[in-house]
């Protein structure tokens, strides 16, 4: 053996040894990952483990609430277009003028337990509330500002604290929407406001390091949010590297945190899906549902029930309960989550029209929730009669348009159908299904069990 050959053998030997060491480390990590699931050790979670509860949840409540609920869409006697939460900008209200809404924000009707119960009874598993919207006003007792619920309003109750207690009690995950853009802070867009989009603030880095990050650290430490939902990331002063850095920083504070894609610059317009390797755990389509299913992609459609996020006293353009239930089924059938918004009043009440719709959805979910929670996109795309979700060995056929001739035609599915029944039928009475290579024929009763969406369960032999 030459010297060189000897060296090569040494290198190969060393490589084999280090591979073995790596294998041992990997194997022991696997063990610790399992231990971590049972809560005995703080090892890093896999992406799947971290996203698990969120993917199962499928349905959450968005809450837009702040001092903009006081003007409720009207300024100086004029009804202002656009979202109620944007009124500061849309009506070009100067910072000092807008601040005057805070002393009038006294939502004495606020009952955290009732909001959480309403969400839970609707079948929602999480709540995302605005800790801070673009106007800069903060709904919790922040140590780094007086522009918050404790110091600037007569209410002086920490809204996020009360919600976090109620959520914990009722087993709902509390999450926060947080705006990177800030029209109030002088080191952010407050400097040039109302022309906030025109340029950059030389002190923006100070805002990030001494204001925004400390605030986020407060939120994580004090209320243990499941998700941080960023927005207002499109401003010139915010960059993708800053987004990546913020994402990494927040995960060091709480490794299990889930963070949306608006933490960086990777969201593609209002369609919201993430570009390339940009920061964030899930895409954020806004006011729209992707036309096709997106299996293997984490995304969440956020949507208003009327035409505003923040409360507007005169917006009565409500979507129907039927529309909302079908939207939920459509989204689940495409593998996404549905974050449905409410805009509470300045008195602290969720508008009656929203309550009515959430209760209607809850009635449907009480019977059919199994076809939504933990379910995802199926190979059956968008049949003309409705949608289809899948979970384990079950296919859930969501029939929006009940067949007049009493038979439902279903495209071919892989695997043999063992049993079929109506989810609304507590006895799970078997429906005799005819299966062929072309597809399935499901004979149905003449009356739909649910006028909005009747779910038929197909139990398959193979997953
Ligand atoms: O909080 C609610 C709205 O107030 C907020 N997002 C929801 C959840 C919102 N802020 N602005 N908008 C919605 C619309 C903004 C659209 C645009 Fe853009 C921002 C157009 C150009 C910059 C998004 C980013 C679309 C293209 C780039």
139 CA → ligand 1 middle, Å = 21
Q: What is the pTM of this model?
A: 0.91
pLDDT digits (tens, 9 = 90+) for 144-191: 999 999 999 999 999 999 999 999 999 999 999 999 999 999 999 999
Q: Which residues of the chain have pLDDT under 50?
A: 1-40
| Burial of 114 (C-beta count, 10 Å sphere; 0-12/13-18/19+) | middle
Sheet harboring 454-460: ordered strands across? 376-377, 386-391, 394-399, 454-460, 417-422
Q: Which of 63, 308, 309, 337 to mutate to test the pocket of ligand 1 (most atoms within 8 A of CB)?
A: 309
Q: Which of 63, 86, 304 to mutate to test the pocket of ligand 1 (most atoms within 8 A of CB)?
A: 86
C-alpha triplet 346, 351, 357: angle, nearest 5°: 155
d(CA 101, CA 82) in angstroms, rounded, equals: 19
| Burial of 425 (C-beta count, 10 Å sphere; 0-12/13-18/19+) | middle
Using the atom order of ligand 1, give the atom closest to the CA of residue 284: 8
Map out the domains of the chain as residue ranges.
10-22+41-371, 386-460
Q: Residue 45: its pLDDT value, please?
A: 86
The H or E element containing residue 130 is: strand 126-132
Q: Residue 11: its pLDDT value, please?
A: 41
Using the atom order of ligand 1, give the atom closest to the CA of residue 341: 8
Q: Tell me, using a 6 A CB cutoff, whether residue 231 lines ligand 1.
A: yes
Q: Tell me, using a 6 A CB cutoff, whether residue 291 lines ligand 1.
A: no
284 CA → ligand 1 middle, Å = 11
Q: Residue 16: its pLDDT value, please?
A: 41
Q: Per CATH, the architecture of 386-460 is what?
A: Sandwich (2.60)
Q: Which of 89, 180, 196, 286 to mutate to test the pocket of ligand 1 (most atoms within 8 A of CB)?
A: 286
Closest CA to 133 of 172, 98, 97: 98
Q: Tell me, using a 6 A CB cutoff, whether residue 234 lines ligand 1.
A: yes
Nearest residue CA, atom 18 of ligand 1?
269
Q: Which CATH superfamily is domain 10-22+41-371 in?
A: Glycosidases (3.20.20.80)
183 CA → ligand 1 middle, Å = 14
Q: Tell me, using a 6 A CB cutoff, whether residue 286 lines ligand 1.
A: yes
Q: Residue 41: its pLDDT value, please?
A: 54
């Amino acid at each position: 053996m030459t010297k060189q050959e000897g060296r090569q053998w040494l290198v190969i030997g060393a490589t084999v040894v280090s591979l073995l060491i790596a294998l041992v480390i990997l194997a022991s990590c696997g063990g610790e990952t399992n231990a971590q699931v049972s809560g005995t050790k703080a090892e890093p979670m896999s992406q799947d483990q971290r996203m698990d509860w969120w993917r199962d949840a499928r349905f959450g409540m968005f809450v837009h609430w702040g001092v903009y609920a006081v003007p409720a869409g009207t300024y100086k006697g004029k009804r202002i277009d656009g979202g109620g939460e944007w009124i500061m900008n849309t009506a070009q209200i100067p910072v000092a003028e807008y601040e005057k809404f805070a002393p009038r924000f006294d939502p004495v009707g606020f009952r955290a337990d009732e909001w959480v119960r309403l969400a839970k009874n609707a079948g929602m598993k999480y709540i995302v509330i605005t800790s801070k919207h673009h106007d800069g006003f903060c709904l919790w007792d922040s140590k780094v500002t007086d522009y918050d619920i404790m110091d600037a309003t007569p209410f002086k109750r920490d809204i996020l604290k009360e919600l976090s207690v109620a959520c914990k009690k009722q087993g709902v995950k509390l999450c926060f929407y947080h705006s990177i853009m800030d029209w109030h802070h002088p080191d952010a867009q407050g400097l040039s406001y109302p022309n906030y989009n025109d340029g950059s603030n030389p002190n923006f880095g100070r805002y990030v390091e001494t204001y925004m990050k400390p605030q986020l650290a407060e939120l994580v430490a004090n209320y243990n949010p499941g998700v941080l939902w960023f927005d207002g990331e499109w401003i010139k002063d915010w960059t993708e590297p800053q987004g990546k850095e913020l994402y990494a920083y927040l995960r060091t504070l709480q490794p299990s945190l889930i963070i949306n894609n608006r933490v960086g610059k990777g969201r593609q317009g209002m369609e919201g899906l993430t570009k390339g390797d940009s920061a964030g755990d899930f895409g954020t389509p806004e006011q729209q549902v992707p036309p096709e299913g997106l299996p293997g992609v984490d995304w969440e459609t956020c949507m208003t029930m009327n035409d505003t996020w923040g409360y507007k006293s005169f917006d009565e353009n409500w979507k129907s309960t039927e529309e909302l239930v079908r939207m939920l089924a459509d989204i689940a059938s495409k593998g996404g989550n549905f974050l449905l918004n409410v805009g509470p009043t300045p008195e602290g009440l969720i508008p009656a029209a929203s309550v009515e719709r959430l209760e209607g959805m809850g009635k449907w979910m009480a019977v059919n929730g199994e076809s939504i929670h933990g379910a995802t996109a199926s190979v059956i795309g968008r049949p003309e009669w409705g949608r289809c979700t899948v979970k384990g060995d079950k296919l859930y056929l969501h029939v929006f348009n009940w067949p007049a001739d009493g038979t439902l035609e279903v495209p071919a599915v892989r695997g043999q159908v063992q049993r079929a029944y109506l989810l609304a039928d507590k006895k799970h009475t078997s429906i005799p299904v005819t299966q062929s290579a072309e597809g399935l024929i499901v004979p149905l009763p003449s009356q739909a069990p649910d006028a909005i969406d009747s779910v038929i369960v197909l139990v398959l032999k193979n997953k």
